[in-house]
Amino acid sequence: MNLLCVVLLLFCFQHAYLSEPSTPCVMELECAECVPDNMPLVTSHRAANGSLRAAPGDELVLQCGGGKFLAYPLLDTLRAVCEAGQYRVRHDDRLRHLLDLGCQESIFEDVLHQVESCGQPLQGRAYQIHETSSRHAVRHLATACFDEDRAVAASLRMSNAPRNQLSLPAHADVSAPLSILGNFNHMFDAKTRHDAEKLYSDDVRMNKRLHELFKHEHFSFADQTLTSAKLLSAHYFEDQNMRVTDFVSNRVAVWKSVAKGNLHHMHHDIAKFLKMTRPHTEIDVYTGTHGVVSLRTGHSRTEVYLKAGKRFPVPKYIWSVVHAKAVNRAIAIVVLNEPYVAVSEIRDAVFCESACSKVPWLHELRRQRNYEVPVYGLTFCCSLHNFTSVVTEMPTHVNVPAGNEGMLTVA
């Protein structure tokens, strides 16, 4: 048998996996049986067709990003050579199994935080990590403006800057004693998170709730179901930071055909654009929700809220704004989360003249013009000025030239 190191790129981890060919790890197995909990990146070799091969004796460079290796708490990079399915670590000559070469767990936090673009009644939040290299250093990966009353994110922001370091105005991240009002805010926040986790973790329960709301109207859902989807995609972030998108405040209810259709295509195109531009320009991505889906029942429409008190709305629009800071150009991409929209209603639903056909980097969206199909989530692209005249959830500090001069159509 030809002894090779095989690196299988497992989708479930979105990291590289190292193994010898006699015992490959396959997709159907539980990932935890095959790889460390926090898989290091392989930075020395390129993958092809879902795998990466290194000849016997080749040196592989493993990296933990902002973290450190469990077996080597002072190191974030290791050099190792494959030897019959195990890995000879260069600096101490020890032979280790792959499972011994995991990274330390990164502890991401979703915390209440001052965010300048969040006006009342929106609640500022930050997705952050405490750096292992410094006791008090905090790295912010994303911020959010969260509507606590309605239990839905109005907007979120992230950057493709190195290590996804999001620049924020000067502030203190040191915890301070809470006031009585502050303690109440944290109590309500914990209750909202608990309700959201219960709702979004079970599609069956969510759809039972939906059908219960409309059982007296005998509404025909035509095999459409709701699922939960992320606003910020994991693929917007560098590999070691992908798990920061798992917070429930980053989730909303979306029709499944939209989630698997144009919302997925939009995420794919933006992620590819961020990766392509990362080496030479900084891009900020803003995303959020606008409006509430309403279903026609008889001669009227009923808005869809999944909890009493008009909480956990199913958003009508899911939007993303991609802003290239160096050239100060932006594009707003809007997905209509309403597969039931009638042809006669499309003109009112699309609130700007779409420019998607003029944006060449929207490859997946533009393929076969599926972005124009409502069942997949009718998608349109706006100039920032036209967009913000309707979508007030977009932070106002981004200001680009009007018209074509301010449109981000090329990288």
Tens of pLDDT along 341-378? 888 889 999 999 999 999 999 999 998 788 999 999 99
pLDDT band, very low/low/confident/very high, at 72 (cuts 50, 70, 90): confident
pLDDT at 66: 65
Residue 291: Cβ within 10 Å count: 18
Q: Is the peptide bond preceding residue 315 cis, with omega within 30 degrees of 0?
A: no
pLDDT at 131 over 80: no
Closest by CA position to 80, among listed 91, 72, 69, 66: 91
Only one residue has tokens 């798992």, namely 246
**What's the pLDDT at 23?**
32
Q: Distance between CA 189 and CA 199 in Å, rounded?
A: 15
Closest residue by Cα to residue 143 from 114, 184, 172: 114
Residue 283 has pLDDT above 80, yes or no: yes
State the pLDDT at residue 32.
36
Encoding tokens for residue 143? 């911020």
Beta strands in 293-360 (DSSP E): 294-297, 300-303, 305-307, 311-313, 315-324, 329-336
Average pLDDT over residues 394-411: 89
Looking at every residue in the chain, the average pLDDT score rounds to 83
Task: Give the separation between CA 283 and CA 329, rounded to whole angstroms.
Answer: 10
| More confident site: 250 or 53 | 250
- Res 180 pLDDT > 60: no
pLDDT at 174: 54
Is the Cβ–Cβ distance between 365 and 357 less than 8 Å? Answer: no
What is the pLDDT confidence band of residue 67, given thresholds at 50, 70 and 90?
Answer: confident
Contact status, residue 207 vs residue 239, Cβ threshold 8 Å = no
List Cβ neighbours of 109 (8 Å cut-off, separation of 6 or more): 126, 127, 128, 129, 130
> What percentage of the chain has pLDDT greater than the value 70?
83
Distance CA 381, CA 141 (A): 26
Average the pLDDT over 256-268 and give the result. Answer: 96
3-state secondary structure of 58: coil
2-16, 39-53, 176-190: least confident range: 2-16
Confidence of residue 49 (pLDDT cuts 50, 70, 90): low
Confidence at residue 169, expressed as pLDDT on a 0 to 100 scale: 82
Q: What is the dihedral of CA 180, 182, 188, 189, to 10 degrees?
A: -160
pLDDT above 90 for 293 = yes
Mean pLDDT of 44-58: 70
Integer angstrom CA distances of residue 297 from 214, 218, 303, 318, 397: 9, 8, 10, 23, 40
Determine the Cα–Cα distance for residues 247 and 345; give it in Å rounded to an integer. Answer: 34
Lowest mean pLDDT among 16-30, 73-87, 193-207: 16-30
Cα–chain center distance at 60: 29
* Of 110-124, 127-141, 224-238, highest mean pLDDT: 224-238
pLDDT at 395: 93
Cβ atoms of 81 and 73 within 8 Å: the answer is no
Where does the pLDDT of residue 64 fall: very low under 50, low under 70, confident under 90, or very high at 90 and above?
confident
Give the pLDDT band (50/70/90) at residue 247.
very high
Q: How confident is the model at residue 22 (pLDDT cuts 50, 70, 90)?
A: very low
Which pLDDT belongs to residue 298?
A: 77
